[in-house]
């Protein structure tokens, strides 16, 4: 799982039947301590109703197809949670 920040969206009028009806968001992996970008952004299917600037939990690979909404769908990245807060070694590093 990756902690990411939603930085944008992708609009597509034509898409595979397997992903019709899903919102496609651009997410950027971030460091859990200071939320600074760690690597290149990528597109993920939104399974939880996330929005821009939210910090989210993203699963990639075959795990991205294991949610109730994405079962057997053609996806390689799925937003599975909107993060409320992050605590590391007793110190809160992020709060929504």
Q: Contact at 8 Å (CB) between 63 and 80?
A: no
The CATH class given to the 2-95 domain equals mainly beta
Q: Is 20 exposed, middle or buried (CB count within 10 Å of its CB: 0-12, 13-18, 19+)?
A: exposed
- Length of the chain as a residue count: 96
Give the burial string for 47-70 (b: 16+ CB within 10 Å, else e). Answer: beebeeebbbbbbeeeebbebeeb
What are the average pLDDT values for consecutive 10-residue runs of the chain, which has 96 residues?
Answer: 97 87 95 96 95 96 76 88 96 95
pLDDT at residue 3 in the model: 98
Quote the pLDDT of residue 68. Answer: 73
3-state secondary structure of 19: helix
């Amino acid at each position: 799982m990756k902690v990411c920040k939603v930085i944008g969206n992708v609009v597509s009028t034509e898409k595979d039947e397997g992903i019709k009806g899903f919102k496609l968001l651009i997410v950027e992996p971030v460091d859990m301590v200071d939320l600074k970008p760690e690597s290149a952004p990528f597109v993920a299917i939104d399974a939880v109703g996330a929005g821009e600037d939210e910090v989210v939990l993203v699963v990639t690979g075959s795990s991205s197809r294991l949610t109730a909404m994405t079962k057997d769908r053609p996806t390689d990245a799925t937003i599975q949670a909107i993060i409320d807060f992050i605590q590391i070694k007793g110190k809160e590093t992020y709060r929504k």
